Chain A
Amino acid sequence: MSTENEHDDADIRALLHETAAGISTHGSLDEIKERIVTENSPRRWVLPTLAAAAAMALVVGGIGYLLRDDDSSTAPPAASPTDGASGVPAETDVSVWYAGATRAGHGLFTETHPVASVDGRPDLERAVQLAVSGEPHDPDYRTLWPGGVSVTDVGFSGGSGEAGTINVSLDGPVASRPAGMSEQDALLAVSALVRTAQAVAADAPQADSPVAFLVDGAETATVLGLAGDTFGPGEDDEVMAPVQVLTPTDGATVPAGSLTVTGVAAAFEANLNWELLVGGDAVVANGFATAAECCTLSPYSFQITDLAPGSYTLVVHDVDESGGEGGGGINQDSKEIVVE
Protein backbone atom coordinates (compact mmCIF):
# COMPACT_ATOMS: atom_id res chain seq x y z
CA MET A 1 0.00 0.00 0.00
CA SER A 2 1.33 3.38 -0.92
CA THR A 3 1.81 6.11 1.60
CA GLU A 4 2.19 8.80 -1.06
CA ASN A 5 0.03 11.76 -0.33
CA GLU A 6 -1.68 14.17 -2.67
CA HIS A 7 1.29 16.53 -2.66
CA ASP A 8 3.75 13.88 -3.77
CA ASP A 9 1.68 13.04 -6.84
CA ALA A 10 2.47 16.41 -8.43
CA ASP A 11 5.21 14.70 -10.43
CA ILE A 12 2.79 12.08 -11.77
CA ARG A 13 0.32 14.80 -12.65
CA ALA A 14 3.04 16.69 -14.55
CA LEU A 15 4.08 13.58 -16.44
CA LEU A 16 0.48 12.79 -17.45
CA HIS A 17 -0.11 16.34 -18.64
CA GLU A 18 3.13 16.30 -20.59
CA THR A 19 2.15 12.98 -22.18
CA ALA A 20 -1.35 14.18 -23.03
CA ALA A 21 -0.02 17.41 -24.54
CA GLY A 22 2.10 15.39 -26.95
CA ILE A 23 -0.90 13.43 -28.26
CA SER A 24 -2.16 14.84 -31.54
CA THR A 25 -5.88 14.76 -32.19
CA HIS A 26 -7.32 14.10 -35.61
CA GLY A 27 -10.91 14.15 -36.71
CA SER A 28 -13.25 17.04 -37.24
CA LEU A 29 -16.72 18.17 -36.35
CA ASP A 30 -17.74 17.71 -39.98
CA GLU A 31 -16.70 14.09 -39.81
CA ILE A 32 -18.95 13.54 -36.80
CA LYS A 33 -21.85 15.38 -38.43
CA GLU A 34 -21.47 13.30 -41.54
CA ARG A 35 -21.58 10.12 -39.53
CA ILE A 36 -24.69 11.28 -37.70
CA VAL A 37 -26.41 11.70 -41.05
CA THR A 38 -25.23 8.45 -42.60
CA GLU A 39 -25.52 6.17 -39.61
CA ASN A 40 -29.05 5.59 -38.58
CA SER A 41 -28.63 1.96 -37.77
CA PRO A 42 -26.63 0.67 -34.83
CA ARG A 43 -23.07 0.61 -36.00
CA ARG A 44 -20.38 -1.93 -35.60
CA TRP A 45 -16.81 -1.25 -34.72
CA VAL A 46 -14.97 0.55 -37.41
CA LEU A 47 -11.30 -0.07 -37.57
CA PRO A 48 -9.14 2.90 -36.84
CA THR A 49 -7.73 4.36 -39.99
CA LEU A 50 -5.51 6.99 -38.45
CA ALA A 51 -3.16 5.66 -35.91
CA ALA A 52 0.12 6.59 -34.40
CA ALA A 53 2.93 4.24 -35.24
CA ALA A 54 3.32 2.97 -31.73
CA ALA A 55 -0.35 2.22 -31.34
CA MET A 56 -0.43 0.30 -34.57
CA ALA A 57 2.70 -1.59 -33.67
CA LEU A 58 1.04 -2.64 -30.44
CA VAL A 59 -1.89 -4.13 -32.32
CA VAL A 60 0.03 -5.68 -35.19
CA GLY A 61 2.72 -7.12 -32.99
CA GLY A 62 0.25 -7.63 -30.24
CA ILE A 63 -1.48 -10.73 -31.47
CA GLY A 64 0.98 -12.91 -29.64
CA TYR A 65 0.98 -10.57 -26.69
CA LEU A 66 -2.77 -10.60 -26.35
CA LEU A 67 -2.92 -14.33 -26.51
CA ARG A 68 -0.28 -15.17 -24.02
CA ASP A 69 -1.84 -16.37 -20.83
CA ASP A 70 0.97 -15.02 -18.72
CA ASP A 71 -0.95 -15.33 -15.49
CA SER A 72 -0.80 -19.06 -15.16
CA SER A 73 -1.66 -18.89 -11.48
CA THR A 74 -5.27 -18.20 -12.37
CA ALA A 75 -5.54 -20.77 -15.13
CA PRO A 76 -7.15 -24.01 -14.10
CA PRO A 77 -5.32 -27.19 -15.06
CA ALA A 78 -5.85 -27.76 -18.76
CA ALA A 79 -6.19 -31.48 -18.79
CA SER A 80 -5.56 -34.27 -16.35
CA PRO A 81 -6.10 -37.95 -16.91
CA THR A 82 -8.85 -39.48 -14.80
CA ASP A 83 -8.57 -43.24 -14.64
CA GLY A 84 -6.75 -45.34 -17.13
CA ALA A 85 -7.10 -48.70 -15.44
CA SER A 86 -10.83 -49.29 -15.65
CA GLY A 87 -11.06 -50.79 -19.11
CA VAL A 88 -13.72 -48.32 -20.27
CA PRO A 89 -12.64 -45.85 -22.95
CA ALA A 90 -10.23 -43.44 -21.29
CA GLU A 91 -11.59 -40.05 -20.45
CA THR A 92 -9.78 -36.86 -19.66
CA ASP A 93 -11.06 -33.90 -17.72
CA VAL A 94 -10.85 -30.68 -19.69
CA SER A 95 -11.68 -27.09 -18.83
CA VAL A 96 -14.65 -25.62 -20.64
CA TRP A 97 -15.72 -21.99 -20.43
CA TYR A 98 -19.35 -20.88 -20.10
CA ALA A 99 -21.07 -17.57 -19.43
CA GLY A 100 -23.00 -16.53 -16.35
CA ALA A 101 -24.41 -13.37 -14.85
CA THR A 102 -22.15 -10.79 -13.22
CA ARG A 103 -22.77 -7.32 -11.86
CA ALA A 104 -22.01 -5.90 -15.30
CA GLY A 105 -23.57 -8.19 -17.91
CA HIS A 106 -22.17 -11.65 -18.55
CA GLY A 107 -18.75 -12.98 -17.59
CA LEU A 108 -17.05 -16.29 -18.24
CA PHE A 109 -16.79 -19.14 -15.72
CA THR A 110 -14.65 -22.26 -15.94
CA GLU A 111 -15.95 -25.80 -15.45
CA THR A 112 -14.33 -29.20 -15.76
CA HIS A 113 -15.90 -31.76 -18.08
CA PRO A 114 -14.77 -35.25 -19.09
CA VAL A 115 -14.17 -35.97 -22.77
CA ALA A 116 -12.95 -39.16 -24.43
CA SER A 117 -9.27 -39.23 -25.12
CA VAL A 118 -7.73 -40.32 -28.37
CA ASP A 119 -4.16 -41.65 -28.16
CA GLY A 120 -3.88 -40.20 -24.70
CA ARG A 121 -4.99 -36.74 -25.80
CA PRO A 122 -8.38 -35.25 -25.06
CA ASP A 123 -10.76 -35.04 -28.03
CA LEU A 124 -10.35 -31.42 -29.06
CA GLU A 125 -13.38 -31.34 -31.32
CA ARG A 126 -15.61 -32.68 -28.57
CA ALA A 127 -14.27 -30.15 -26.05
CA VAL A 128 -14.95 -27.25 -28.42
CA GLN A 129 -18.42 -28.65 -29.10
CA LEU A 130 -19.05 -28.60 -25.33
CA ALA A 131 -18.14 -24.91 -25.23
CA VAL A 132 -20.56 -24.24 -28.10
CA SER A 133 -23.54 -26.40 -27.14
CA GLY A 134 -22.72 -28.38 -24.00
CA GLU A 135 -24.73 -28.34 -20.84
CA PRO A 136 -22.84 -26.77 -17.91
CA HIS A 137 -22.92 -28.54 -14.52
CA ASP A 138 -23.98 -25.27 -12.93
CA PRO A 139 -27.52 -24.30 -14.00
CA ASP A 140 -26.55 -20.62 -13.57
CA TYR A 141 -24.17 -20.92 -16.54
CA ARG A 142 -24.92 -21.28 -20.21
CA THR A 143 -23.32 -21.14 -23.60
CA LEU A 144 -23.81 -17.87 -25.48
CA TRP A 145 -23.55 -19.54 -28.89
CA PRO A 146 -26.81 -19.83 -30.83
CA GLY A 147 -28.44 -23.26 -31.15
CA GLY A 148 -27.83 -25.57 -34.08
CA VAL A 149 -24.09 -25.05 -34.35
CA SER A 150 -21.85 -28.08 -34.81
CA VAL A 151 -18.09 -28.28 -34.65
CA THR A 152 -17.00 -30.27 -37.69
CA ASP A 153 -13.25 -30.05 -37.38
CA VAL A 154 -10.48 -28.62 -35.24
CA GLY A 155 -6.96 -28.55 -36.61
CA PHE A 156 -3.71 -26.65 -36.49
CA SER A 157 -1.68 -24.79 -38.99
CA GLY A 158 1.67 -23.10 -38.83
CA GLY A 159 4.19 -23.30 -36.06
CA SER A 160 4.02 -22.10 -32.53
CA GLY A 161 3.34 -18.58 -31.35
CA GLU A 162 2.23 -15.81 -33.67
CA ALA A 163 2.63 -17.75 -36.87
CA GLY A 164 0.32 -20.63 -35.98
CA THR A 165 -3.44 -20.84 -35.74
CA ILE A 166 -5.97 -23.24 -34.30
CA ASN A 167 -8.51 -23.75 -37.08
CA VAL A 168 -12.08 -24.35 -35.96
CA SER A 169 -14.72 -25.36 -38.51
CA LEU A 170 -18.31 -24.67 -37.59
CA ASP A 171 -21.55 -25.50 -39.35
CA GLY A 172 -24.51 -23.31 -38.53
CA PRO A 173 -25.73 -19.73 -38.33
CA VAL A 174 -22.62 -18.16 -36.86
CA ALA A 175 -21.29 -15.69 -39.43
CA SER A 176 -23.61 -12.87 -38.49
CA ARG A 177 -24.75 -11.97 -35.02
CA PRO A 178 -28.13 -13.39 -34.05
CA ALA A 179 -30.85 -10.85 -33.34
CA GLY A 180 -30.80 -9.83 -29.72
CA MET A 181 -27.18 -10.77 -29.07
CA SER A 182 -25.02 -7.89 -27.90
CA GLU A 183 -21.50 -7.29 -29.15
CA GLN A 184 -20.23 -7.98 -25.63
CA ASP A 185 -21.95 -11.37 -25.59
CA ALA A 186 -20.52 -12.18 -29.03
CA LEU A 187 -17.03 -11.39 -27.70
CA LEU A 188 -17.62 -13.61 -24.68
CA ALA A 189 -18.95 -16.48 -26.82
CA VAL A 190 -15.84 -16.36 -29.00
CA SER A 191 -13.54 -15.99 -26.00
CA ALA A 192 -15.13 -19.05 -24.31
CA LEU A 193 -14.49 -21.13 -27.41
CA VAL A 194 -10.92 -19.87 -27.83
CA ARG A 195 -10.09 -20.47 -24.17
CA THR A 196 -11.46 -24.01 -24.32
CA ALA A 197 -9.57 -24.84 -27.53
CA GLN A 198 -6.30 -23.36 -26.26
CA ALA A 199 -6.54 -25.14 -22.91
CA VAL A 200 -7.24 -28.53 -24.49
CA ALA A 201 -4.47 -28.03 -27.02
CA ALA A 202 -2.05 -27.22 -24.20
CA ASP A 203 0.51 -29.79 -25.35
CA ALA A 204 0.47 -28.75 -28.99
CA PRO A 205 2.99 -26.21 -30.28
CA GLN A 206 0.03 -24.06 -31.34
CA ALA A 207 -1.53 -24.01 -27.88
CA ASP A 208 -1.14 -20.26 -27.52
CA SER A 209 -2.16 -19.53 -31.09
CA PRO A 210 -5.27 -17.58 -31.98
CA VAL A 211 -8.30 -19.27 -33.49
CA ALA A 212 -9.26 -18.88 -37.16
CA PHE A 213 -12.79 -19.90 -38.13
CA LEU A 214 -14.24 -21.65 -41.14
CA VAL A 215 -18.03 -21.46 -41.38
CA ASP A 216 -19.90 -24.06 -43.42
CA GLY A 217 -16.59 -25.04 -44.99
CA ALA A 218 -15.61 -21.60 -46.22
CA GLU A 219 -13.57 -18.70 -44.94
CA THR A 220 -15.66 -16.10 -43.24
CA ALA A 221 -15.31 -12.35 -42.82
CA THR A 222 -17.17 -12.32 -39.52
CA VAL A 223 -17.99 -14.61 -36.63
CA LEU A 224 -21.11 -13.69 -34.65
CA GLY A 225 -20.83 -10.36 -36.42
CA LEU A 226 -17.28 -9.71 -35.18
CA ALA A 227 -14.90 -8.82 -37.96
CA GLY A 228 -11.50 -10.36 -37.39
CA ASP A 229 -8.93 -12.61 -39.00
CA THR A 230 -8.16 -14.44 -35.81
CA PHE A 231 -9.56 -14.43 -32.31
CA GLY A 232 -7.81 -14.56 -28.97
CA PRO A 233 -8.96 -15.40 -25.45
CA GLY A 234 -9.14 -11.80 -24.24
CA GLU A 235 -7.62 -10.53 -21.02
CA ASP A 236 -8.86 -12.32 -17.91
CA ASP A 237 -9.98 -9.08 -16.30
CA GLU A 238 -11.97 -8.12 -19.39
CA VAL A 239 -13.88 -11.34 -19.97
CA MET A 240 -13.85 -13.54 -16.88
CA ALA A 241 -16.52 -13.32 -14.20
CA PRO A 242 -15.00 -11.53 -11.19
CA VAL A 243 -16.02 -14.15 -8.60
CA GLN A 244 -15.86 -17.87 -9.33
CA VAL A 245 -16.01 -21.06 -7.30
CA LEU A 246 -13.91 -23.81 -8.93
CA THR A 247 -14.41 -26.49 -6.25
CA PRO A 248 -16.73 -27.92 -5.09
CA THR A 249 -18.67 -28.16 -8.35
CA ASP A 250 -22.41 -27.75 -8.58
CA GLY A 251 -24.21 -30.92 -7.46
CA ALA A 252 -21.10 -32.35 -5.80
CA THR A 253 -21.41 -34.76 -2.89
CA VAL A 254 -18.78 -34.15 -0.23
CA PRO A 255 -18.00 -35.90 3.08
CA ALA A 256 -19.15 -34.38 6.35
CA GLY A 257 -16.56 -32.51 8.40
CA SER A 258 -14.42 -29.96 6.68
CA LEU A 259 -14.64 -28.69 3.12
CA THR A 260 -12.06 -26.65 1.24
CA VAL A 261 -13.54 -24.18 -1.24
CA THR A 262 -11.30 -22.89 -4.02
CA GLY A 263 -11.83 -20.36 -6.75
CA VAL A 264 -10.60 -17.19 -8.38
CA ALA A 265 -11.75 -13.63 -7.83
CA ALA A 266 -11.02 -10.08 -8.84
CA ALA A 267 -12.40 -8.21 -5.88
CA PHE A 268 -12.04 -4.75 -4.40
CA GLU A 269 -9.46 -4.93 -1.59
CA ALA A 270 -9.39 -8.68 -2.44
CA ASN A 271 -12.29 -9.17 -0.02
CA LEU A 272 -14.88 -11.90 -0.42
CA ASN A 273 -17.77 -13.04 1.75
CA TRP A 274 -19.27 -16.51 1.77
CA GLU A 275 -22.46 -18.00 3.11
CA LEU A 276 -23.75 -21.54 3.46
CA LEU A 277 -27.52 -21.66 3.08
CA VAL A 278 -30.15 -24.27 3.83
CA GLY A 279 -33.45 -24.20 2.00
CA GLY A 280 -32.15 -21.41 -0.20
CA ASP A 281 -32.28 -18.62 2.36
CA ALA A 282 -31.39 -19.66 5.92
CA VAL A 283 -27.72 -18.91 6.64
CA VAL A 284 -26.14 -21.70 8.69
CA ALA A 285 -22.54 -20.56 8.36
CA ASN A 286 -20.71 -17.61 6.89
CA GLY A 287 -17.29 -16.02 6.78
CA PHE A 288 -14.70 -14.01 4.87
CA ALA A 289 -12.01 -14.93 2.41
CA THR A 290 -9.22 -13.01 0.76
CA ALA A 291 -7.95 -13.48 -2.77
CA ALA A 292 -4.19 -13.47 -3.34
CA GLU A 293 -4.30 -10.08 -5.06
CA CYS A 294 -6.61 -7.10 -5.12
CA CYS A 295 -8.65 -6.08 -8.12
CA THR A 296 -7.31 -8.61 -10.60
CA LEU A 297 -8.29 -12.26 -11.06
CA SER A 298 -6.33 -14.29 -8.51
CA PRO A 299 -6.85 -17.48 -6.50
CA TYR A 300 -8.55 -17.77 -3.13
CA SER A 301 -9.43 -20.66 -0.87
CA PHE A 302 -11.07 -21.11 2.50
CA GLN A 303 -12.28 -23.91 4.75
CA ILE A 304 -15.72 -24.62 6.08
CA THR A 305 -15.51 -26.79 9.20
CA ASP A 306 -17.98 -28.89 11.20
CA LEU A 307 -20.10 -29.51 8.15
CA ALA A 308 -23.11 -31.69 9.04
CA PRO A 309 -24.86 -33.97 6.50
CA GLY A 310 -27.54 -32.28 4.44
CA SER A 311 -28.17 -30.23 1.29
CA TYR A 312 -26.68 -26.75 1.10
CA THR A 313 -26.21 -23.80 -1.19
CA LEU A 314 -22.72 -22.29 -1.05
CA VAL A 315 -22.55 -18.64 -2.11
CA VAL A 316 -19.29 -16.70 -2.56
CA HIS A 317 -19.56 -13.02 -3.42
CA ASP A 318 -17.72 -9.71 -3.42
CA VAL A 319 -18.71 -6.59 -1.54
CA ASP A 320 -20.55 -3.78 -3.30
CA GLU A 321 -17.81 -1.21 -4.01
CA SER A 322 -20.21 1.69 -4.07
CA GLY A 323 -21.49 0.86 -0.58
CA GLY A 324 -24.96 0.59 -2.06
CA GLU A 325 -24.87 4.13 -3.46
CA GLY A 326 -24.77 3.07 -7.05
CA GLY A 327 -27.24 0.23 -6.59
CA GLY A 328 -24.46 -1.73 -8.19
CA GLY A 329 -25.13 -5.17 -6.75
CA ILE A 330 -22.52 -7.83 -6.32
CA ASN A 331 -20.67 -10.49 -8.24
CA GLN A 332 -21.27 -14.00 -7.00
CA ASP A 333 -21.09 -17.68 -7.75
CA SER A 334 -23.23 -20.32 -6.05
CA LYS A 335 -23.01 -24.11 -5.84
CA GLU A 336 -25.55 -26.66 -4.66
CA ILE A 337 -23.77 -29.30 -2.60
CA VAL A 338 -24.78 -32.44 -0.72
CA VAL A 339 -22.90 -33.37 2.46
CA GLU A 340 -22.97 -37.03 3.48
Chain B
Amino acid sequence: MIALKEERTIDADAALEELYASHYAGLVRLAVLLLRDQGLAEDVVQDSFIAVHGKWRRIDQGNAPAYLRQTVVNRCRSALRHRSVVARHRPEPPPDDAGADESVLRHERREAVLAALAQLPTRQREVLVLRHYLDLTEREIAGTLNISQGAVKSHASRASAALRNHLAGLLEENR
Protein backbone atom coordinates (compact mmCIF):
# COMPACT_ATOMS: atom_id res chain seq x y z
CA MET B 1 0.00 0.00 0.00
CA ILE B 2 1.26 3.49 -0.65
CA ALA B 3 0.75 6.30 1.79
CA LEU B 4 -1.36 8.71 -0.15
CA LYS B 5 -3.57 9.59 2.74
CA GLU B 6 -1.63 12.57 4.01
CA GLU B 7 -0.81 13.86 0.58
CA ARG B 8 -4.14 15.15 -0.57
CA THR B 9 -2.59 17.52 -3.00
CA ILE B 10 -0.67 14.91 -4.96
CA ASP B 11 -1.44 15.42 -8.62
CA ALA B 12 -2.76 12.82 -11.02
CA ASP B 13 0.54 12.28 -12.83
CA ALA B 14 2.52 11.73 -9.65
CA ALA B 15 -0.20 9.42 -8.33
CA LEU B 16 -0.08 7.43 -11.54
CA GLU B 17 3.66 6.87 -11.11
CA GLU B 18 3.31 5.74 -7.51
CA LEU B 19 0.37 3.48 -8.23
CA TYR B 20 2.17 2.00 -11.21
CA ALA B 21 5.32 1.25 -9.25
CA SER B 22 3.47 -0.41 -6.39
CA HIS B 23 0.60 -2.13 -8.12
CA TYR B 24 0.97 -2.64 -11.87
CA ALA B 25 2.61 -6.07 -11.85
CA GLY B 26 0.35 -7.42 -9.11
CA LEU B 27 -2.78 -6.21 -10.86
CA VAL B 28 -1.72 -7.77 -14.18
CA ARG B 29 -1.23 -11.08 -12.37
CA LEU B 30 -4.61 -10.66 -10.71
CA ALA B 31 -6.20 -10.02 -14.12
CA VAL B 32 -4.46 -13.05 -15.67
CA LEU B 33 -5.81 -15.24 -12.85
CA LEU B 34 -9.31 -13.87 -13.55
CA LEU B 35 -9.15 -13.87 -17.37
CA ARG B 36 -6.60 -16.53 -18.34
CA ASP B 37 -5.44 -14.22 -21.12
CA GLN B 38 -2.21 -12.29 -20.79
CA GLY B 39 -2.82 -9.68 -23.49
CA LEU B 40 -6.37 -8.98 -22.42
CA ALA B 41 -5.25 -8.75 -18.79
CA GLU B 42 -2.67 -6.09 -19.66
CA ASP B 43 -5.25 -4.14 -21.63
CA VAL B 44 -7.69 -4.24 -18.74
CA VAL B 45 -5.10 -3.11 -16.20
CA GLN B 46 -3.80 -0.31 -18.39
CA ASP B 47 -7.36 0.84 -19.07
CA SER B 48 -7.95 0.87 -15.33
CA PHE B 49 -4.88 3.02 -14.65
CA ILE B 50 -6.01 5.43 -17.34
CA ALA B 51 -9.53 5.56 -15.87
CA VAL B 52 -8.20 6.27 -12.38
CA HIS B 53 -5.86 8.94 -13.74
CA GLY B 54 -8.76 10.58 -15.57
CA LYS B 55 -10.98 10.60 -12.48
CA TRP B 56 -8.23 11.44 -10.01
CA ARG B 57 -9.83 14.64 -8.73
CA ARG B 58 -13.15 12.92 -8.12
CA ILE B 59 -12.12 9.77 -6.28
CA ASP B 60 -11.27 9.17 -2.65
CA GLN B 61 -7.52 9.46 -3.10
CA GLY B 62 -6.73 7.82 0.22
CA ASN B 63 -8.32 4.64 -1.07
CA ALA B 64 -6.87 4.83 -4.56
CA PRO B 65 -5.31 1.33 -4.51
CA ALA B 66 -8.63 -0.23 -3.48
CA TYR B 67 -10.46 1.80 -6.10
CA LEU B 68 -7.97 0.71 -8.75
CA ARG B 69 -8.32 -2.92 -7.71
CA GLN B 70 -12.11 -2.72 -7.89
CA THR B 71 -11.88 -1.12 -11.34
CA VAL B 72 -9.69 -4.00 -12.54
CA VAL B 73 -12.07 -6.66 -11.17
CA ASN B 74 -15.12 -4.98 -12.73
CA ARG B 75 -13.39 -4.53 -16.07
CA CYS B 76 -12.28 -8.16 -16.08
CA ARG B 77 -15.92 -9.14 -15.71
CA SER B 78 -16.91 -6.96 -18.68
CA ALA B 79 -14.02 -8.32 -20.72
CA LEU B 80 -15.19 -11.88 -20.12
CA ARG B 81 -18.59 -10.98 -21.48
CA HIS B 82 -17.01 -9.31 -24.49
CA ARG B 83 -14.75 -12.25 -25.17
CA SER B 84 -17.62 -14.69 -24.96
CA VAL B 85 -19.60 -12.90 -27.69
CA VAL B 86 -16.98 -11.55 -30.08
CA ALA B 87 -14.54 -13.86 -31.85
CA ARG B 88 -11.70 -12.76 -34.08
CA HIS B 89 -9.47 -14.92 -36.15
CA ARG B 90 -6.16 -13.98 -34.69
CA PRO B 91 -2.69 -14.53 -36.06
CA GLU B 92 -0.62 -17.40 -34.76
CA PRO B 93 0.51 -16.73 -31.23
CA PRO B 94 4.10 -15.68 -30.62
CA PRO B 95 6.19 -18.18 -28.69
CA ASP B 96 5.68 -17.97 -24.94
CA ASP B 97 8.76 -16.03 -23.90
CA ALA B 98 8.21 -16.87 -20.27
CA GLY B 99 8.37 -20.55 -21.08
CA ALA B 100 11.87 -20.43 -22.54
CA ASP B 101 13.84 -20.52 -19.33
CA GLU B 102 11.50 -22.32 -17.04
CA SER B 103 10.82 -25.97 -16.78
CA VAL B 104 8.06 -27.43 -18.88
CA LEU B 105 6.64 -28.96 -15.74
CA ARG B 106 6.28 -25.61 -14.06
CA HIS B 107 4.60 -24.19 -17.12
CA GLU B 108 2.15 -27.07 -17.18
CA ARG B 109 1.34 -26.63 -13.52
CA ARG B 110 0.55 -22.97 -14.10
CA GLU B 111 -1.65 -23.74 -17.09
CA ALA B 112 -3.51 -26.36 -15.05
CA VAL B 113 -4.23 -23.86 -12.29
CA LEU B 114 -5.39 -21.19 -14.75
CA ALA B 115 -7.61 -23.73 -16.50
CA ALA B 116 -9.14 -24.82 -13.20
CA LEU B 117 -9.80 -21.20 -12.22
CA ALA B 118 -11.46 -20.57 -15.59
CA GLN B 119 -13.94 -23.35 -14.86
CA LEU B 120 -15.26 -21.69 -11.71
CA PRO B 121 -18.33 -19.43 -11.84
CA THR B 122 -17.19 -15.79 -12.11
CA ARG B 123 -18.07 -14.82 -8.54
CA GLN B 124 -16.35 -17.83 -7.01
CA ARG B 125 -13.22 -17.18 -9.04
CA GLU B 126 -13.18 -13.53 -7.96
CA VAL B 127 -13.59 -14.37 -4.29
CA LEU B 128 -10.96 -17.11 -4.38
CA VAL B 129 -8.35 -14.95 -6.10
CA LEU B 130 -8.97 -11.87 -3.96
CA ARG B 131 -8.73 -13.99 -0.85
CA HIS B 132 -5.79 -16.24 -1.59
CA TYR B 133 -3.73 -14.24 -4.06
CA LEU B 134 -4.29 -10.69 -2.81
CA ASP B 135 -4.84 -11.87 0.78
CA LEU B 136 -7.79 -9.52 1.27
CA THR B 137 -10.01 -9.90 4.32
CA GLU B 138 -13.61 -11.00 3.96
CA ARG B 139 -14.66 -7.45 4.61
CA GLU B 140 -12.40 -6.07 1.87
CA ILE B 141 -13.61 -8.68 -0.59
CA ALA B 142 -17.24 -7.87 0.25
CA GLY B 143 -16.51 -4.20 -0.41
CA THR B 144 -14.69 -4.86 -3.68
CA LEU B 145 -17.44 -7.10 -5.08
CA ASN B 146 -20.37 -5.31 -3.43
CA ILE B 147 -21.70 -8.47 -1.82
CA SER B 148 -22.25 -9.41 1.83
CA GLN B 149 -19.57 -11.04 3.99
CA GLY B 150 -21.84 -14.07 4.27
CA ALA B 151 -21.84 -14.35 0.49
CA VAL B 152 -18.03 -14.07 0.48
CA LYS B 153 -17.75 -16.99 2.93
CA SER B 154 -20.15 -19.10 0.92
CA HIS B 155 -18.50 -18.39 -2.45
CA ALA B 156 -15.06 -18.96 -0.93
CA SER B 157 -15.90 -22.36 0.45
CA ARG B 158 -17.57 -23.50 -2.77
CA ALA B 159 -14.63 -22.20 -4.79
CA SER B 160 -12.06 -23.97 -2.61
CA ALA B 161 -13.98 -27.23 -2.83
CA ALA B 162 -14.30 -26.99 -6.61
CA LEU B 163 -10.65 -26.07 -7.13
CA ARG B 164 -9.54 -28.86 -4.79
CA ASN B 165 -11.58 -31.19 -6.95
CA HIS B 166 -10.05 -29.99 -10.22
CA LEU B 167 -6.50 -29.88 -8.90
CA ALA B 168 -6.37 -32.87 -6.59
CA GLY B 169 -3.20 -34.14 -8.25
CA LEU B 170 -1.29 -30.87 -8.09
CA LEU B 171 -2.23 -30.19 -4.49
CA GLU B 172 -1.07 -33.69 -3.60
CA GLU B 173 2.34 -33.07 -5.22
CA ASN B 174 2.76 -29.95 -3.11
CA ARG B 175 2.48 -31.75 0.19
Residues of chain A touching chain B, judged by Cβ–Cβ distance below 8 Å, are 1-2, 4, 9, 11-20, 22-27, 29, 31-33, 35-36, 39, 43, 45-60, 62-63, 66, 183-184, 187, 190-191, 194, 210, 226-235, 237-239, 268-269, 294-296, 321-323, 325-326, 328
In the bound complex, residues from chain B placing their C-beta under 8 Å from that of A50 are 38-39, 42, 94
B16 touches A33 (CB 8 A): yes
A18 CA to B107 CA in the complex, in Å?
Answer: 11
Residues of B1-50 whose CB lies within 8 A of A:
16-17, 20-21, 24-25, 28-30, 32-33, 36-40, 42-43, 45-47, 49-50
Q: Which of B53, B54, B87 is A230 in contact with, Cβ under 8 Å?
A: B87
Contact A17 B133 (CB under 8 A): yes
CA distance A39 to B49 in the complex (A): 13
Chain B residues lying within 8 Å of A231, measured Cβ to Cβ, are 85-87
Given contacts A48-B43, A328-B146, contact A232 B95 (CB under 8 A): no
18 A-B pairs in the complex with CB atoms less than 8 angstroms apart: A1-B161, A2-B160, A11-B171, A18-B109, A47-B39, A48-B40, A48-B42, A50-B38, A51-B93, A52-B39, A53-B95, A54-B96, A66-B83, A231-B87, A235-B80, A295-B124, A321-B148, A323-B148
The answer to whether the Cβ of B82 comes within 8 Å of any Cβ in the partner chain is: yes
B158→A25 contact, CB < 8 A = no
Task: Determine the distance from Cα of A233 to Cα of B95 in the docked complex, in whole angstroms.
Answer: 30
Contacts of A326 in B (CB 8 A): 146-147
Which residues of B, 66-89, contact A by the 8 Å Cβ criterion?
A: 78-89
Tier of interface size on chain B: 35 or more
Chain B residues whose CB sits within 8 angstroms of the CB of A48 once the complex forms: 37-40, 42-43
Minimum Cβ distance to chain A for residue B59 (Å) = 16
Q: Told that A19-B109, A48-B37, A232-B86 touch, could you supply 4 new A-B pairs with CB distance under 8 A?
A: A12-B163, A55-B37, A210-B87, A294-B158
> Chain B residues in contact with chain A, CB under 8 A?
16-17, 20-21, 24-25, 28-30, 32-33, 36-40, 42-43, 45-47, 49-50, 53-54, 78-90, 92-99, 102, 106-107, 109-111, 113-114, 121-124, 128-129, 132-133, 135, 142, 146-148, 150-151, 154-155, 157-158, 160-161, 163-164, 167, 170-171, 174-175
